[in-house]
Amino acid sequence: MDGYSLAILFVVTGLVLSLNPMTLSVFSALLAGALGKNHHKNVIHVIGLAFLLAYSSFLILFSILLIRLLSIISIDLTASLGIAIAVASIIFGLVNIKDYFWYKPKIKIPNNMDAAIHHRTIKKNNPISATMLGMITGFGSIITTGIALLCLAIILTLVQQASPTLIIVPTLCLVLPLIIIFVATLSGTKLSAIIKWKQDSKPLMQLGTGIVYIILGWILLLVLNGSINSIL
């Protein structure tokens, strides 16, 4: 696996996982709150950019820390961790695909978290609050993207055919749909239409996430057993 193949894998993974219903919902709610308060357009710009910057910075920092951590532990330990992460990735992918085809019990957001999101998006809608919300959302998104980022970090560490900074690529891709929503909203697109699209697309987002996780786990296992060139 050369650097070009790794770059494609990282970009595709980032783009698919960027369609995260939770993140899209929070950002849409933030913009709806800003529009509902009749903020000046420039203020809405600052609020949106503050969220995007905080969200992307958190994910980039998390990814860099992963690479740094893997660089200081032994290769044997990395390989052992890789097996566990690959299996977890495949299981997580299968669960997502199962939920696409069969009934999925509704997961309710804890009341304290729901209240915090409502406070940051509706009641206290300003750049500082948006920055804090961006970091909170970044932390929350690790639940759905953390395993994938770990897979990519371990693959990058073991294959060593590209710069470690490549790990930043998928994290930047995770922000792309939010940027598109931001620009579309400022250009006059109704948020209700965006929210409807998000709701209608949820099943496909889940299916895509499941497929990507299975592929990542499979590729990581191929790297670990030597089928794909690595330093093992």
Among 166, 185, 208, 179, smallest CA distance to 20 is for 208
Spell 185-223 as b/e; 16+ CB within 10 A means b: beeeeebeebbeebeeebeebbbbbbebbbbbbebbbeb
Residue 161 has pLDDT above 80, yes or no: no
Residue 230 has pLDDT above 80, yes or no: no
CA–centroid distance for 59 within its chain: 8
Q: What is the pLDDT of residue 103?
A: 59
Q: 217 is written with which tokens?
A: 């786990």
Q: What is the pLDDT of residue 122?
A: 65
Q: What is the pLDDT of residue 228?
A: 76
Whether 26 is in a domain gets the answer yes
Q: What is the pLDDT of residue 141?
A: 87
d(CA 13, CA 172): 11
Q: What is the pLDDT of residue 229?
A: 67
Tally of structural domains, the chain = 1
- The predicted-structure confidence for 169-213, as pLDDT tens digits, reads as follows 998 999 999 999 999 988 888 888 888 888 888 889 989 999 999
How many helices and strands, by DSSP H and E, does the chain display? 9, 0
Whether 141 is in a domain gets the answer yes
Per DSSP, 231 falls in state -
- The predicted-structure confidence for 118-144, as pLDDT tens digits, reads as follows 666 666 778 888 998 899 889 888 888
Cβ–Cβ < 8 Å for 2, 161: yes
Whether 109 is in a domain gets the answer yes
Q: What is the pLDDT of residue 84?
A: 95
Per DSSP, 47 falls in state H
Whether 232 is in a domain gets the answer no
Q: What is the pLDDT of residue 226?
A: 80
Greater confidence (110 vs 9) lies with 9
- The predicted-structure confidence for 57-75, as pLDDT tens digits, reads as follows 999 999 999 999 998 998 8
**Residue ranges making up the domain that contains 124:** 3-224
d(CA 71, CA 205): 33
Per DSSP, 174 falls in state T
Whether 143 is in a domain gets the answer yes
- The predicted-structure confidence for 72-130, as pLDDT tens digits, reads as follows 998 889 999 999 999 999 999 999 898 888 756 555 555 566 666 666 666 677 888 89
- The predicted-structure confidence for 13-55, as pLDDT tens digits, reads as follows 999 999 988 899 889 888 888 887 777 788 888 999 999 999 9
Whether 67 is in a domain gets the answer yes
The model carries a pTM of 0.85
Cβ–Cβ < 8 Å for 141, 22: yes
Q: 9 is written with which tokens?
A: 């894998």
Q: 199 is written with which tokens?
A: 């709701």
Whether 229 is in a domain gets the answer no
Whether 29 is in a domain gets the answer yes
